[in-house]
């Protein structure tokens, strides 16, 4: 899971941009603790669609680790991680 790898590498916060119209992605990111923090007007060049900037803070704490564990428990099957470093 990318969020766990970011924490392992020392991240304290996570951020991303998502299309305003992408309700499914926004819902998924909320489950990961990201919350809207701003708008990037015309961010997607091909459509001039705005992006919502989302942030999750304090991802290096126990509460966020518990959130990730709950999310991982809810995913069926197994995931194979390939380390690139």
Residue 85 lies in a domain: no
- Check if 64 is active-site: no
* pLDDT over threshold 90, residue 81: no
Domain count, the chain: 1
- Average pLDDT estimate for 35-44: 97
- DSSP of the chain, one letter per residue? -HHHHHHHTT-SEEEEEEETT-HHHHHHHHHTT-EEEEEEEEEETTTTEEEEEEEEE-TTSHHHHHHHHHHHHTS-S--------
Residue 65 to residues 7, 19, 37, 58, 72, Cα–Cα distance (Å): 9, 27, 22, 10, 11
* CATH number of the domain enclosing 63: 3.40.630.30
- Check if 29 is active-site: yes
Residue 43 lies in a domain: yes
Q: Which among 5, 23, 29, 46 is annotated as catalytic?
A: 29
Q: Which among 17, 43, 44, 49 is annotated as catalytic?
A: 17
Residue 49 lies in a domain: yes
Range of the domain at 57: 2-73
Q: Check residue 78 and give its pLDDT.
A: 72
Residue 78 lies in a domain: no
pTM listed for this prediction = 0.81
């Amino acid at each position: 899971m990318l969020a766990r790898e970011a924490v392992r590498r020392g991240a304290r916060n996570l951020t991303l941009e998502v299309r305003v119209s992408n309700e499914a992605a926004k819902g998924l990111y909320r489950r990961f603790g990201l919350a809207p923090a701003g708008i990037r007007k015309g961010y997607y060049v091909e459509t001039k669609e705005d992006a919502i900037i989302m942030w999750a803070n304090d991802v290096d704490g126990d509460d966020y680790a518990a959130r990730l564990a709950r999310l991982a428990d809810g995913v069926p099957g197994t995931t194979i991680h390939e380390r690139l470093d």
